[in-house]
Each structure stands twice: as structure tokens, then as C-alpha cells.
Structure 1
Amino acid sequence: MLDRSPKDGGTNDTVLIGVDGALGRIHLNRPEALNSLNLDMVREIARGIDALESNPDVHAIALSGEGRALCAGGDIKMIWQTGRSAPDEALAFWAEEYRLNVRINHLKKPWLALMDGICMGGGVGLSVHGSHRVVTERTRFAMPETGIGYFPDVGGTWALARAPNHFGFWIGLTGASIGAADTLAAGLADAMVPSEAIAAMLSDIASGSTVDNAIVTHQIEPGVSNLKENAALIDSVFALPDIAAILAALRADGSEFAITTLAHLEGKSPTSLVLTLHLLQEAKGSASLEACLDREYAADAVILRGHDFYEGVRAAVIDKDRNPAWQPARVEEVDQQALFAAIKPFPSLFS
């Protein structure tokens, strides 16, 4: 059972931890914010994992979310507020979040992420690094960071770089929201289960079924993947060495999918597009999730010193005018050499 009693005198716990038979449960309970993560939630999830992993009666752990999202991201408003004046505070949030991503990746028990509804940003970090990732007909998966002057983090560069046919490059650069079939095609989920069957699947696991068997019992076919249908174009275009070449190839192709992709890219921060492509290219050759997270953490420090993250969050979250003024305004004006040289590695978060 999930513990819904308030702790520490609070009235509404944002992370509920419980045990149901053989199944440990971690349930994000901040629906008014689409279960977006703050530092207290990151710490509570970590504590929950410690308790459930050490419990011999628990054979698997399921992550779920209240309402219409698993998790819509991290606490970007806090980072926006503190990034310039107290960058160490913003970096401290990312450090704990990234360590949690690695903790999930190395769990000794199955981690069943129920990506039912919105799963974006920080929610992706809680999901894709686990052993079992389930999508539903309600799944809206995205790494939308290039639209706020940021880049796919939480180990997103590791996961996206390993998607077939450069699908992850398309997802990370466009920031587009995709459904179950495309998430599966990109290797970012393992099976589709109808949302109405989730309770029965969890009950099976609680009663002693393995996670694999429970998923097989309830899974369905996901339908047509738009990414798969355009795999040849995506693979050829997003293998190109820089953003300018990618944009030129999409314009030259002129297909409906190319035009739609171009429209996604043209609204994004030019600096973020250049940085994201660089990080994805670097991630392709990386040996571990930890190496990618360390690189993302170093890039975080660069972002905090720049312009576009603050402008992107202002336009999307604070003023909500959806009209960011990027600096520089064009991909061709981004000083790539200076941008990449500014990424100075920190001591590893995981040593």
C-alpha cells in the first residue's frame, strides 16, 4: 500500500512510498505541477529506493505518477531564479538529480517506469535508465529543452545517442512530443500496455509474477511509428556534422516530414541546437551513462553563465509570451569553438 499520511507536519506528500506484496511503489504526487521534480522529491525518491531495494520482501519497484503525467521535468523555475545569483545552488540540484539517474541505472531489482501520460525532461531521467519502461496510449514523451535555451540532460544524451537511425538526435534537437510507437521505435521504452491494464499488471507483480511476465500478459501492439516511416531521411540528415548542414538538408529534401522537422528546429535556441548536437555526438562515443552525465554537468555551468536559458524560461514559464529573443539569433552566428571550449570538466559526480 502507498503511504498517503503526511510527514513532518506537511499536508500533501509529493512522493509516496509503499509496499504491496512483492512490489515496492514510488508514486509522484504533485499533480498540480505535473509531478515536476524539486530537490525534496529527488531526495525522497532516493530514500525510497534505498528502503525498497534493501527490503527482502520487495522483488521489483514501480514508479508511477498522479494525474496526467509521470513527471513533466525538473525545477527549472528554481534554477531560473538562482542560476545567476547562486549558481552553486542550481548545480547542486543537478548533481543530486544526476546521481539519482545513475542509482536507477544500477538498481539490483527491476525498475518498472510507468510512462503513462506526460514524461518529459526529469521524468525521462527517472524512466529510460531503468530496466523496464512501459508506455501507454496516453504517453507524451519529449526532451523539449532546446526550446528553453537548454539541452537534453539527466543522461538524455546517453539514451538519445543510442537510439537507432539517429532517432534520438531528432528527438533531442526538435524537442517534439512523441507517442508510444515512436518512443518504442527509439528504444526509449520496452512495451506498450493500455492505461486501463496497469492496475492489473501491478497486481500480478505484487502477487509474485515477474515483471517480464506481467508485461507480456498485458502488452499490446503500439501501432505505426512516424519515426520508423521516415527512418531513412532522419538517419541521413541527422548524421550530418553540424546544425547548418542539417537545416540545409531538410530544406533541400522538401518532404512534408522534412518541412515539419524544419519548423520544429527553427523556433529553438540556436546555441542550444549547436550545444545539443555536440553533446549527442560526444555521447555516441562515450563508454558510460556516468561519462555523459559528467559532461552534461559541465555544460550546465556554461548554460548558467549564458543568455538563452534565462530568456527561454522567461518566455515559456514566467511571462508565457512564447516569444524568446535568442542571442545569437541565427545558428550561423553561434561561436561553436568558444562554446565547446567553455565546457570545462568538473571532478566526476560519481567518483
Structure 2
Amino acid sequence: MTSGPVGEQAEAELIAAVDAAAGNLTLNRPRALNALNTFMRAQMAEAMKKWAADPEIYAVVLAASGGKAFCAGGDVRELLNWVRTDPAKARQSVADEYRLVWQIDCFPKPIVALIDGLVMGSGAGISMFATHRVAGPNYAFAMPETALGFFPDVGATVFLGRLPGAVGTYLGLTGERIGRADAFRLGIASHCIDREHYPSIMKGLAAAEVVDPLLDGFHADPGPGPLATRRDAIDRCFSAADVPEILARLEAEKAEHRDWAQAALEKLRRASPLSLAVALRQLREGRALGLKAALEREHRMTVNHMASPDFAEGVRALLVDKDGAPRWRHAIDGVAQSEVEGIFAPLLDGELALPARPQPPVFQE
């Protein structure tokens, strides 16, 4: 049995439907690269709360319409508008986004994200904590927030911070895109399955087929990705103590890794120096944090960072005027430690306090 969309705007932006034992959530803003807005997050949270308690639902599927993007991030224009006109609403929207990520991580049933196309920012937030993350042939993962004058959030403290060596630092600072071969090797994707098999996966989940053998049957090993040949250079350069030293090490790279190093330098020089310093500290210090603590910390950082002129300037340069020439307030070596400290400072009020992870029921014979 299939039920229709939830909410007045759902048909245009999010489709939440039940197909027998599967709850299906489809992002439906293809012209906006399925960017998540506040309405969509609210509808996702509502549907998942209902399905978590429904004994007839075996699994949830996260999918997207259009072929270019699973989800290219959050609707940053919406957020910036609220920062300027209604700061309380902006803070509420941010808190609700982190609550949704925590809700996904705590969901008591399988969640299968079918990802073919761009997955960035908020798109990573709603998919990285799914139990199964299926990468199609057009899969492209990135966390490009430093170029927007922001930092990688929505749980990136955990899913980037725990990557091997300095790979998470490299991806978080440069915003580099990786394909499904690298994502699979890093554990960012759990399976590599071509899009033509997605209807069969959804049919199987609707019939409550056991998820792991179902996905394993369609998985094809993608082979090694390009990062494998650069791991030594990534670890050598991005293990440096601070951002200026990372740049110095990249500038010293020669021979086989010189072109890669120059491309990384170009990305870092386009990014906000403040955001780079914040992200480096975030990912280094956050490796030992659980997701709950990481999200609560990221909420604090976001509230403090939203007022930064760099965020507004990054959105202007990349998304509004699209001149690609942000005018940052600092040089790479000119970021004061006190300003970085201010991003991590406790809030005077309105700290996010997520609920404890629900404990599984204990059955007694």
C-alpha cells in the first residue's frame, strides 16, 4: 500500500510515502539540486518519528529526484536571510537540523540512502548516519563549507574527523570532491550499486527482505580510487600543526605529487582563512567525541559563526553574485587565536541539548 505525501508543500519539495514495509523519503527539488530547507527537514523528522513506532515499517529509504544531485547541501540563502531578518528563527532552524541528524543516527530500523550524484553539506548530514549508504556511478561527495566562509558541520566532526590519517582534514579544509571508489574505501559509502538496480532495492525493502544480503547482491567493487596514490602526501602535508604550515608543506611538494599539491593550494587560498583555522581545530579536537557531543558543539560553533562577515561574504561571492571572488577579512597567517576561540565559546543562552540515545528493549525469557 502506498500513501501520499505528508504536508501541504510536500509534493513540491519532499515526498514521504509508505510502500508496504518501506517508508520512502524522496527529496524533490531537482532545480535547486535538492537543497534541504527548513520545511523539508521538518517533514522528514515527522515521518521518521511516525515510522520508528510503526511495527509494519521495516526500513526507510532516502532517495532523490533528478539525476544531478542527491542533495547539494542546505538552503544557505534561506539561512542567511533569517540571520539578517530573524536571528531567532535562524538559530531554531540550525538546532532543528542537528536534531534531525541525531534522530537519523538513533533511528531503530535500517535506513538506506540511495545516492547518485552530488552529496554535500546537509546532504551528507542526512545520509552519512544512515545504516547503509549506496553510491551510484555519478556519486560525488564533498564538504565545501570553507569556501562559503563556514565550516564542515552536520556531524562532519565525526565522519571526517575519524577518517584515516589526515584524509578528513584534507577533505574538510579543501572541499575536494571524491567519487564512489574513494568513498567506498574510506567507509563513507557502504555499497557501490548502479542506479538501474535502485527500483529492485526499493521493491525488496518493501517486501521486508533482509537489507544486508539484498544490497550485497547488487554491490560491485569499484576498485581503487585516486586518493590511494596520494595518501602519503596527504598525511605528510595535512598533519601539520596549523594552516600556514599546511600551505608551506604543500608548496614544498615536488615530483609526482606537485600537481595535486598545487590544486590543493589553490582551493585553500580561495577559502576563508578564519574558516580554515576553525575547521582544523574542529576536526583535530573532535576525533574523540561521540556524535551527540559533536552536534551540540557544532551547534554552538554555528550560532557563533553565523554572525561572522565571512559567512555572508562567501554566500554573496559563490551563490548570489557568483563572481567567485570573496573578500575575506584575514590573510592565511593573520587569523587571531582569540577569534577562533570565540567560535568555540559557550553560548550565553540557547545551548543545544540533545536527548540521550534510546536504549534498546531488554527481552527476558
Q: What TM-score does the superposition give when structure 1 sets the normalisation length? A: 0.94
Please give the alpha-carbon distance, in whole angstroms, between the structure 2 residues aligned to 1:46 and 1:277. 31
Shift of 1:152: 0.5
Equivalent residue, structure 1, for 2:328: 326
Give the 5 Å matches for 1:82-101: 82-101=82-101
Aligned length: 348
Deviations 1:152-174 (A, max 9, x none): 01111211001112211111111
Cα distance 1:27–1:150, how it changes in 2: closer, same or farther (>3 A)? same
Equivalent residue, structure 1, for 2:336: 335
Please give the alpha-carbon distance, in whole angstroms, between the structure 2 residues aligned to 1:28 and 1:113. 11
Q: Is the 8 A contact 2:10 2:40 kept in 1?
A: no
Deviations 1:56-78 (A, max 9, x none): 12111110011122211112101
Equivalent residue, structure 1, for 2:134: 134
Please give the alpha-carbon distance, in whole angstroms, between the structure 2 residues aligned to 1:53 and 1:96. 18
The reply on whether 1:58 has 2:57 as its aligned counterpart is: yes
Equivalent residue, structure 1, for 2:81: 81
The reply on whether 1:276 has 2:279 as its aligned counterpart is: yes
SS at match of 2:344: coil
Q: Is the 8 A contact 1:122 1:154 kept in 2?
A: yes
Equivalent residue, structure 1, for 2:353: 349
Cα distance 1:2–1:73, how it changes in 2: closer, same or farther (>3 A)? farther
Q: Return the letter of the residue paired with 2:307.
A: R
Deviations 1:202-234 (A, max 9, x none): 222222321111110101112331112211111
Cα distance 1:5–1:162, how it changes in 2: closer, same or farther (>3 A)? closer
Give the 5 Å matches for 1:1-351: 3-4=3-4, 7-8=7-8, 10=9, 12-67=11-66, 68-254=68-254, 255-286=258-289, 288-328=290-330, 330-346=331-347, 347-351=351-355
Shift of 1:345: 2.3
Q: Is the 8 A contact 1:143 1:152 kept in 2?
A: yes
Please give the alpha-carbon distance, in whole angstroms, between the structure 2 residues aligned to 1:262 and 1:85. 36
Larger deviation: 83-92 or 223-232?
Answer: 83-92
Cα distance 1:54–1:149, how it changes in 2: closer, same or farther (>3 A)? same
Percent identity over the alignment is 35
Q: Is the 8 A contact 1:167 1:186 kept in 2?
A: no
Please give the alpha-carbon distance, in whole angstroms, between the structure 2 residues aligned to 1:141 and 1:4. 31
Please give the alpha-carbon distance, in whole angstroms, between the structure 2 residues aligned to 1:17 and 1:189. 24
Cα distance 1:262–1:315, how it changes in 2: closer, same or farther (>3 A)? same
SS at match of 2:24: strand
Q: Return the letter of the residue paired with 2:315.
A: V
Please give the alpha-carbon distance, in whole angstroms, between the structure 2 residues aligned to 1:319 and 1:341. 29
Please give the alpha-carbon distance, in whole angstroms, between the structure 2 residues aligned to 1:11 and 1:80. 23
Please give the alpha-carbon distance, in whole angstroms, between the structure 2 residues aligned to 1:122 and 1:298. 17
Q: Flag structure 2 segments of 5+ consecutive residues without an equivalent.
A: 356-365
Shift of 1:344: 1.9
Q: Return the letter of the residue paired with 1:338.
A: E
Q: Return the letter of the residue paired with 1:25.
A: N
SS at match of 1:119: strand
Shift of 1:15: 1.4
Shift of 1:239: 1.7
Please give the alpha-carbon distance, in whole angstroms, between the structure 1 residues aligned to 2:57 and 2:107. 13
Deviations 1:255-296 (A, max 9, x none): 22222222221111111111110111111132x111111111
Cα distance 1:307–1:2, how it changes in 2: closer, same or farther (>3 A)? farther
Please give the alpha-carbon distance, in whole angstroms, between the structure 2 residues aligned to 1:156 and 1:122. 10
SS at match of 1:12: helix
Cα distance 1:153–1:35, how it changes in 2: closer, same or farther (>3 A)? same
